[in-house]
């Protein structure tokens, strides 16, 4: 007996929203996992105008789209559009993932998990809870880093930003004695006392100059985590390697923040045994997404 048309399952559809969106690597990553897992579905980029973003996100409930990731500059609108929020989204007040549950639109944020998972592959939680961290940058990425570090009970977080006033207001907004701003001109002096150094600034990205940070006093074994993934190894990571530091690049964060989204959209975790790193770098190199 032939099945009726209505019995044929609709392929699962998800995507990433931004303005602009053509540069996003997320479609390459999610479609790689979909193919590997043999799931009938697709993940595509959606350009969403910022002035209508809240309405666009709310309309997801009336479509067969399972959910979307959200990137700059729409993460706050995504949060505002949601009916309910996960604890990680509430911590940051922005959402990079919207999915549907029981007819409601849920605002989630996977950046905390995405940042923390690679970090914990390099340093034990028990060690982190006794570490001093130097964080460079005070933009959107730094907020997610701070949220994750606080959840991991890091006892001291020093924020240095090229524009001192932004580091100061970020520290004030958190309002904890363990987290404070260090003047930009004192950033090099803060290196020696730090077990973990994190670059969450744009300095070192392809097309930008390298981060101006002197690692001379960094102790061997210090972990230097650069959130940037283009280039693959930034000037900061190369210098850190020369000085015997442990290093971590930004692509693992990109991959780990995508995993929980994939699970929400397609109903199962992406294959754990497949490493998408080379596929992603090939896409970056060719410029094809
Ligand atoms: P953002 O909100 O625009 O903030 C940019 C930050 O970089 C600001 O603190 C800015 O300082 C600082 N900065 C820019 N140029 C600098 C320079 N030449 N020297 C020192 N500091 C400089 O950007 P964001 O969203 O936080 O992203 C920051 C970086 O993280 C980007 O490179 C992004 O690619 C990366 N990122 C990676 C992932 C991942 O999954 N791996 C996720 C998110 C972000 P001022 O305040 O002085 O302008």
Quote the pLDDT of residue 37: 94
Q: How far is CA 120 from CA 28, 124, 153, 284, 289, in A?
A: 25, 6, 13, 26, 30
Nearest to 255 by CA among 269, 234, 236, 238: 269
**Atom 39 of ligand 1: nearest residue by CA position:** 254
Q: Is the dihedral of CA 247, 251, 252, 257 positive or negative?
A: positive
Cα 260 to ligand 1 centre (Å): 24
Whether residue 162 is predicted with pLDDT greater than 50 in this model: the reply is yes
Is 1 part of a structural domain of the chain?
no
Residue 142 domain-assigned?
yes
Could you tell me if 149 and 268 lie in one domain? no
| DSSP per-residue letters across 97-111 | EEEEETTEEEEE--H
Express each pLDDT in 164-194 by its tens digit. 999 999 999 999 999 999 999 999 999 999 9
- Asked whether residue 140 falls in the same domain as residue 241, the answer is yes
Which residues have CB under 8 Å from 225's CB, separation 6+? 118, 119, 122, 196, 197, 198, 199, 247, 248
> Which is more confident, 23 or 14?
14
Residue 44: closest CA among 73, 65, 19? 65
pLDDT at residue 285 greater than cutoff 70: yes
Residues 122 and 238 grouped into a single domain:
yes
Specify whether 120 is located in the same domain as 244. Answer: yes
Produce one character per residue of 24-50: b if its CB has 16 or more CB atoms within 10 Å, e if not.
Answer: bbbbbbbbbbbeeeebebebebbebee
Question: 41-62: per-residue pLDDT in tens?
Answer: 999 999 999 999 999 999 999 9
From the list 199, 185, 201, 192, the residue with the least C-alpha distance to 220 is 192
Check residues 289 and 194 and name the one with the higher pLDDT. Answer: 194
Alpha helices (runs of H) in 123-234, residue ranges in sequence order: 125-128, 140-151, 164-174
Ligand 1, atom nearest to 143 Cα: 26
Domain count, the chain: 2
Average pLDDT over residues 213-223: 96
Same domain? 135 vs 243 = yes
Percent of all residues in the chain with a pLDDT value above 90, rounded to a whole number: 90
The pLDDT-based confidence of 76 (bands split at 50, 70, 90) is very high
Segment 241-275, tens digit of pLDDT: 999 999 999 999 999 999 999 999 999 999 988 89
Residue 137 shares a structural domain with residue 50:
no
- What is the pLDDT at residue 286? 84
The answer to whether the beta carbons of residues 196 and 222 sit under 8 Å apart is yes
Same domain, 206 and 154: yes
Q: By alpha-carbon position, which residue is closest to atom 23 of ligand 1? A: 139
**Structural domain containing residue 61:** 12-109+253-286
CA 150 to chain centre: 16
pTM here is 0.93
| 117 belongs to a structural domain | yes
pLDDT value of residue 208: 92
Spacing, Cα 122 to ligand 1 middle (Å)? 23
Same domain, 131 and 42: no
CATH number for the domain that contains residue 149 = 3.40.50.720
Residue 6 forms part of a structural domain: no
Strands 65-70 and 97-101, sheet pairing? antiparallel
User: What is the rounded CA–CA span in Å between residue 3 and residue 245?
Assistant: 61
Residues 51 and 180 in one domain: no
Let me know if residue 5 belongs to a domain.
no
Q: What is the pLDDT of residue 2?
A: 45
pLDDT of residue 111: 96
Which residues are catalytically annotated?
75
More confident residue, 80 or 272: 80
Identify whether residues 237 and 118 lie together within a single domain. Answer: yes
- What average pLDDT does the segment 151-176 reach? 97
| CA pair distance 200, 68, nearest whole angstrom | 24
In the chain, DSSP assigns E strands to 12-18, 41-47, 65-70, 84-85, 97-101, 104-108, 132-136, 156-160, 179-181, 196-199, 223-226, 246-248
When mean pLDDT is compared across 9-13, 58-62, 78-82, 264-268, the lowest value belongs to 9-13
Residue 3's pLDDT is 46
Ligand 1 pocket residue status of 137, Cβ below 6 Å: yes
Nearest Cα neighbor of 261 from 120, 147, 100 is 100
CATH number at residue 75: 3.40.50.10860
For range 141-153, the mean pLDDT: 96
Q: What 8-state DSSP symbol labels residue 191?
A: T
92 and 191 share one domain: no
Which band of pLDDT confidence, cut at 50, 70 and 90, is reported for residue 1? very low
Classify residue 2: in a domain, yes or no: no
134 and 171 housed in the same domain: yes
Tokens 């595509």, residue located: 44
pLDDT in tens, 120-138: 999 999 999 999 999 999 9
* Mean pLDDT over each residue of the chain, to the nearest integer: 94
Q: Summarize pLDDT for 24-45 with one digit per residue, the tens.
A: 999 999 999 999 999 999 999 9
The answer as to whether 92 is a domain residue is yes
More confident residue, 272 or 210: 210
Is the minimum distance from the CB of 162 to ligand 1 under 6 angstroms?
A: yes
pLDDT value for 6: 60
């Amino acid at each position: 007996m032939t099945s009726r048309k209505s019995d044929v399952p609709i392929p699962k559809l998800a995507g990433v929203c931004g303005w602009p969106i053509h540069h996003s690597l997320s479609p390459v990553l999610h479609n790689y996992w979909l193919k590997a897992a043999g799931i009938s579905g697709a993940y595509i980029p959606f350009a969403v105008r910022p002035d209508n973003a809240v309405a666009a996100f709310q309309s997801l409930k009336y479509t067969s789209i399972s959910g979307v990731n959200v990137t700059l500059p729409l993460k706050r609108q995504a949060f505002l559009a949601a009916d309910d929020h996960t604890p990680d989204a509430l911590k940051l007040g922005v959402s990079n993932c919207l999915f549907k549950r029981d007819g409601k639109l849920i605002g989630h944020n996977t950046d905390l998990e995405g940042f923390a998972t690679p970090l914990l592959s390099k340093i034990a939680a028990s060690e982190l809870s006794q570490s001093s961290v130097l964080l460079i940058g005070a933009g959107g990425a730094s907020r997610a880093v701070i949220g994750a570090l606080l959840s991991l009970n890091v006892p001291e977080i020093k924020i240095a930003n090229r524009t001192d006033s932004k580091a100061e207001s970020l520290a004030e907004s958190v309002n904890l004695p363990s987290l404070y701003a260090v003047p930009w001109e004192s950033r090099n002096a803060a290196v020696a006392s730090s077990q973990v150094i994190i670059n969450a600034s744009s300095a070192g990205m392809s097309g930008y100059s390298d981060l101006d940070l002197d690692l001379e006093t960094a102790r061997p074994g210090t972990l230097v985590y650069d959130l940037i993934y283009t280039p693959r190894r930034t000037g900061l990571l190369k210098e850190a390697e020369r000085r015997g530091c442990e290093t971590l690049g930004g692509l693992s964060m990109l991959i780990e923040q995508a995993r929980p989204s994939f699970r929400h959209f397609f109903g199962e975790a992406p294959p754990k045994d497949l490493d998408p790193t080379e596929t992603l770098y090939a896409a970056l190199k060719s410029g094809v997404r």
